[in-house]
Amino acid sequence: MSAVLDASAVLAVIRREKGADRVVGRVGEGRMSAVSIAEVAQRLWREGVDPGVWIDGLDAGGLTVVPADTVLALAAAALERLTKPLGLSLADRFCIALAIQEQLPIVTADKPFAQLGLPIAVELIR
């Protein structure tokens, strides 16, 4: 089943964290915004890991990366008031906006997603 993968879910796979097994099978049908990919890369760089191999692996695994166009950017911006109090990032808002736009569930490790009352399903991996 297709879903929008949050950066936290992909990082769980890369780091072999709890819940990663719930994400691995979703990569081939998964979608991510380019902004979420940037968040994954940024976090890996901070940890001293070159993200290139991992990003190439996601591409090879069939992950679809969705460009951050104006429509998606405006939808993400409109979510700030809802998400900011819970500490969610700009990349999280792009993830949510993409999921709403495409009417797909979000797969995430971030529990605050489930508190938002979104019009799409949120699947917590742990």
The encoded tokens of residue 83 equal: 């998400």
Domain positions in the chain are 3-124
Single-letter amino acid, residue 112: P
Domain 3-124 is in which class?
A: alpha beta
| Entry pTM | 0.94
How many Å apart are CA 20 and CA 13, to the nearest integer? 5
Among 41, 9, 14, which residue's Cα sits nearest to residue 26? 9
| Over residues 87-109, mean pLDDT | 97
How many Å apart are CA 16 and CA 112, to the nearest integer? 21
pLDDT category of residue 100 using cuts at 50, 70 and 90: very high
How many Å apart are CA 17 and CA 119, to the nearest integer? 28
How many Å apart are CA 34 and CA 66, to the nearest integer? 6
The pLDDT of residue 120 is: 97
